[in-house]
Amino acid sequence: MKSFRQALEAGEFLFTAEAGPPKGVDVSIMLHHAHDLRAKVHAVNVTDNQSSVMRLGSLSACHLLLGEGLEPVFQLTCRDRNRLALQSDLLSAYVLGIRNVLALTGDHVLVGDHPGAKPVFDVDSVQLLQIIDRLNSGRDYSTKSPKGETISGGNELQGTPEFFPGAVVNPELEPLEPQLIKFEKKVQAGAKFFQTQAVFDHEKFARFMNYARQFEVKILAGILLLKSAGMARYLNNFVPGIKVPQHLIDELKSAPNKAEAGIKIAGRQIRELRKLCDGVHVMAIGRQGYRRDTNPTTRHVNTTY
């Protein structure tokens, strides 16, 4: 079976899912979901203290998923680590067999369950991609003076990793121009693939893809599995950059089975978006596990409750 990287580079249409480590040490539910996803997805993103909520570390969770036969995407945020810790965690991940890294700046601690914690943000996601690129070249990250002289770092590594770095982009955020600027900076810093935030406006996504196709990177569109009309309204009111259209809210509201309606909507989105991008990243929020049918006209999401 091809690796995540090999499948993307071969031009296959990819499916990825998301795994949230537990807030504690009981990993049974996470591993149960992993078992359901095995052989159904190309890779599984492991979140890193998502929304600034303290959880089991992404690194250890990735290692556990490898043991379950899944290929992980190691999410790494700049919020909780300085450049020393980021590089150390990356090297640790590599020797544990983890190859895919999604570079994130991270949500601020004020939105999480430890608002009194001290945020780090020594570097941002663009610089983290530069760090990964530097490690891939066989040296650690170097800090330069305004004149371009190396102040620190740049030391040779004992063994060179080969990470496959990715990043995120939000094609529906308004105004879009700052996102496009950041997107291009991430490409220049070494990103090879992008996973987007939830996509609901296909016209906006198509416009973004027209811009993105000038770069040699792969784009996986974000598919957020809606559970109810209330969830959709909450996203619209409290999550910047996400706008669930009213017709989808109405569809969910009138459906006798909200879960099945959400699955139907997600399947429809996948069928439409596969014409535009290189894959989809399904965010099921606790209902991981979906079937990939061989017939693209019937492809849909199938949740595990």
Task: Tell me the per-residue pLDDT of 224-281, one tens digit each, with 9 for 90 and over.
Answer: 999 999 999 998 888 777 889 999 999 999 999 998 999 999 999 999 999 999 999 9
Q: What is the pLDDT of residue 287?
A: 52
Domains of the chain, each with CATH number or no CATH: 4-225+270-283 (3.20.20.220)
Cβ contacts of residue 62 below 8 Å, gap of 6+?
A: 46, 72, 74, 93, 96, 98
pTM value?
0.89
Residues 135-144: tens digit of each pLDDT:
999 999 988 7
Residues 48-99: tens digit of each pLDDT:
999 899 999 999 999 999 999 999 999 999 999 999 999 999 999 999 999 9
CA 255 to chain centre: 30
Q: Can you give the three-state secondary structure of the chain, one letter per residue?
A: CCCHHHHHHCCCCEEEEEECCCCCCCCHHHHHHHHHHCCCCCEEEECCCHHHCCCCCHHHHHHHHHHCCCCEEEEEECCCCCHHHHHHHHHHHHHCCCCEEEEECCCCHHHCCCCCCCCCCCCCHHHHHHHHHHHHCCECCCEECCCCCEEECCCECCCCCCCEEEEEECCCCCCCHHHHHHHHHHHHCCCCEEEEEECCCHHHHHHHHHHHCCCCCEEEEEEECCCCHHHHHHHHHHCCCCCCCHHHHHHHHHCCCHHHHHHHHHHHHHHHHCCCCCEEEEECCCCCCCCCCCCCCCCCCCCCC
Whether 149 shows a pLDDT value over 80: the answer reads no
Residues 100-116: tens digit of each pLDDT:
999 999 989 998 899 99
Q: What is the pLDDT of residue 177?
A: 94
- Please tell me the number of Cα atoms within 13 Å of 216 on its side-chain side: 3
| In the chain, % of residues over pLDDT 90 | 78
Q: What is the pLDDT of residue 152?
A: 78
